[in-house]
Amino acid sequence: MTGQPGDHLRTPPFAWDLLQDKILVHTRTSSGTRGDIVRTGQIHDGLTLCGADAVQTARECHNQCPGQWLQLVDPAAYEDHATPEEPFRPDRVRLTGQASLFEDDEDKGVGGDVRSILDTQLRSGTTAGLTPTRYIKAGKRDIVTAVVDFASRLEAEQTILTVPLDHGWLRNDDDIDFLVEELDQLPHIKAITLGAVYNPLGLKGTATGLRRLISGLERVALIRTDLAGLDAYAHGALFASIGMQTALRHVRTPGAVPSKKRKPRAVTTTVLHPQLLDYFNADTLRELYREGDGPACHCTECQGRPLLRFDHNRADQAAANRHNLATWLPWAKELQRAAPGRPRRAAWHEICWDAVQAHQELSEHRSSPGDPEPPRWLKEWVGEPN
Ligand SMILES: [Zn+2]
């Protein structure tokens, strides 16, 4: 890029300074009105927007309320597998009439495409540009090397390298050590997101491996995730982006066919239990309390109304999504108030430990066979053996 007089005065702030210690909401632009999106941005530290009109929405929000909250756009290039030759998804939707900031760059083809995607995000008022990295199959080290090699040529200060990893990467320490060694060569923020057919943290050892990966890296983030974002933040992540909608709490393995045992529903409402620290389908939650009314919820959304009131319909799904955000926000704030390192880890451990106790109390109260155990990841977070 050719420098102009006075450019040094307009240098944008570094992404890692702006995003340090932030817990963002990962959300679809199609869920709710523009007003809902603005309110979510104002209540939380910021938003990572997903969906076909994410760039457009980011631009409108930026124009409407410039600088009120942080914004990122998730290019969601995870539906294809990466290859060493094509680790990134090319820019399919070029905005016409927009000159690239990088048009004098020597890189053409995929390189130019990636820069164009980042450029479009930044011009729409995002805090940084997220790379359109494709899904990285477990153990495919040559792909990670190709991703790192290309990313090393992208400006670090405003680029976030998206790293969509299959959960299988976290199965053995050798692979985790390889990822740390490769990714840590980059000064860029590395935004990890985990892929599986269902919840990656439901698979043995994933929560532990993820924590090891996050703890080993500098300038790392966990995005498109669930409460693992808080675990990552407590263990040194620069920032996290927690999904508002169920599908935005992990990445689906490309081409994965969901089990036929699980009947698809037109609308599935998922509710975060404030004491059990876990998301439940609305009907599963009611089954947990089949002999009683269940607890009242005192989050800012529910204000004392019953936790079991949600059903599988659009209105309840939207209300439950707001309840979910209102439920984890105080935990995020508590961690943000704690000093990084041991105090923050201790604060998170206490939240998790209380949840394990709540699971046990509920189980003793019900005392029926087949009661749900604390979820695997929760046991891993508090350090219980599997
Ligand atoms: Zn609530």
Give me ligand 1 centre to Cα 323, in Å: 4
In three-state secondary structure terms, 60 is helix
> Tokens 């998804």 belong to which residue?
89
Q: Where are the domains of the chain?
A: 12-252, 273-381
Give me ligand 1 centre to Cα 297, in Å: 5
Give me ligand 1 centre to Cα 171, in Å: 35
Using CA atoms, how far apart are residues 124 and 193, in angstroms rounded to an integer?
Answer: 23
Give me ligand 1 centre to Cα 301, in Å: 5
Give me ligand 1 centre to Cα 373, in Å: 23
Inter-residue contact 213 to 180 (CB < 8 Å): yes
Give me ligand 1 centre to Cα 351, in Å: 17
Task: Looking at the chain, list the stretches that DSSP marks H as alpha helix, in order from N- to C-terminal side.
Answer: 15-19, 34-43, 54-64, 110-123, 141-151, 173-183, 206-216, 228-234, 282-288, 314-337, 342-366, 376-381
Give me ligand 1 centre to Cα 32, in Å: 18
Encode the chain (386 residues) as per-residue pLDDT tens digits: 445 566 556 677 899 999 999 999 999 998 778 888 889 999 999 999 999 999 999 999 999 888 888 999 999 999 899 999 999 998 654 433 343 334 444 444 556 789 999 999 999 999 999 999 999 999 999 999 999 999 999 999 999 999 999 999 999 999 999 999 999 999 999 999 999 999 999 999 999 999 999 999 999 999 999 999 999 999 999 999 999 999 999 999 998 877 766 677 889 999 999 999 999 999 999 998 876 789 999 999 999 999 999 999 999 999 999 999 999 999 999 999 999 999 999 999 999 999 999 999 888 877 665 666 899 999 999 996 54
Q: Angle between the 34-43 and 314-337 helix axes, to the nearest 10 degrees?
A: 20
Give me ligand 1 centre to Cα 204, in Å: 30
- Positive or negative, the Cα torsion across 358, 360, 365, 366? positive
Of 245, 241, 222, 310, nearest in space to 30 by CA: 245
Give me ligand 1 centre to Cα 293, in Å: 15
- Of the CATH numbers 3.20.20, 3.40.1350, 1.10.1060, 3.30.460, which one belongs to the domain with range 12-252? 3.20.20
**Pairing assessment for the beta strands 129-130 and 159-166 based on DSSP bridges:** parallel
Give me ligand 1 centre to Cα 272, in Å: 8
